[in-house]
A and B are shown apart, each in its own frame.
Chain A
Amino acid sequence: GESVGLHLPTLSVQEGDNSIINCAYSNSASDYFIWYKQESGKGPQFIIDIRSNMDKRQGQRVTVLLNKTVKHLSLQIAATQPGDSAVYFCAEGGGSYIPTFGRGTSLIVHP
């Protein structure tokens, strides 16, 4: 199917490495942040979220870090696997029912 990764920043890593995907958000009033993973030919899949009253939240092999001072969000994936290859989107929300999505980062994992 048509790739959603065209024209996107790309991060290439080796299998087993840790990956860090960054996202700068725009609205200082945003209080809710979400990371999505989108594989080729599929819809975005929820990975992890974090509220603004937290700096860090951990899931299974993933950690989200929030730095409100510089309006920066990052997603860390431990021991990256080929199945992690996808486009990753951050989204910010707060004060509106609808989140604002970033452009996405394409993660390529080499075996």
Chain B
Amino acid sequence: KAGVTQTPRYLIKTRGQQVTLSCSPISGHRSVSWYQQTPGQGLQFLFEYFSETQRNKGNFPGRFSGRQFSNSRSEMNVSTLELGDSALYLCASSLGGLAGSTDTQYFGPGTRLTVL
């Protein structure tokens, strides 16, 4: 099976702009999670989508949003970019099935966002 894919791999934006990142999960996986990774803060959970619904949310401002489509592909959007949004944005997919159970997450290569 093909792994998790993310596009684009690299982005350079300026403060105040907005950006949309895309993630295609492993075939058959219905859960997609997004993470922000920086050297100082490590891996931080943004949100998780399952069956087109946001099921879990991390502690990020409303400028960070996402959605999931019927084919499980997901996008995340960051509006009004700030310098501190520069990071590696990772998408992970999992089967996402059993309630109260943690599935193994499989990560994509990430999108490197630089905000100038």
Contacts and interface: CB of A to CB of B under 8 A. Distances in A.
A91 B106 CA distance: 12
B101 A97 contact: yes
Interface stretch (A12-20, A68-76, A77-85, A99-107): A99-107
Given A7-B39, A89-B43, A98 B107 contact: no
B59 interface: no
Nearest to B100: A95
Nearest to A42: B109
Interface size class of A (residues with CB under 8 A): 20 to 34
A32 B98 CA distance: 13
B77 to A, nearest CB: 20
Interface stretch (B14-22, B48-56, B68-76): B48-56
Contact of B39 (A6, A36, A43, A49): A6
Contacts of B66: none
A98 B102 contact: yes
28 contacts: A2-B88, A3-B39, A6-B39, A6-B40, A7-B39, A32-B101, A32-B102, A42-B109, A43-B107, A43-B108, A44-B90, A44-B107, A46-B104, A46-B106, A89-B43, A91-B105, A94-B102, A95-B102, A96-B100, A96-B102, A97-B48, A97-B50, A97-B55, A97-B56, A97-B94, A97-B102, A97-B103, A103-B42
Interface of B: 4, 6, 31, 33, 37, 39-40, 42-43, 45, 48, 50, 55-56, 88, 90, 92, 94, 96, 100-110, 112
Given A4-B39, A44-B107, A96-B102, 8 more contacts: A2-B88, A32-B102, A43-B110, A44-B90, A49-B104, A91-B105, A97-B56, A97-B102
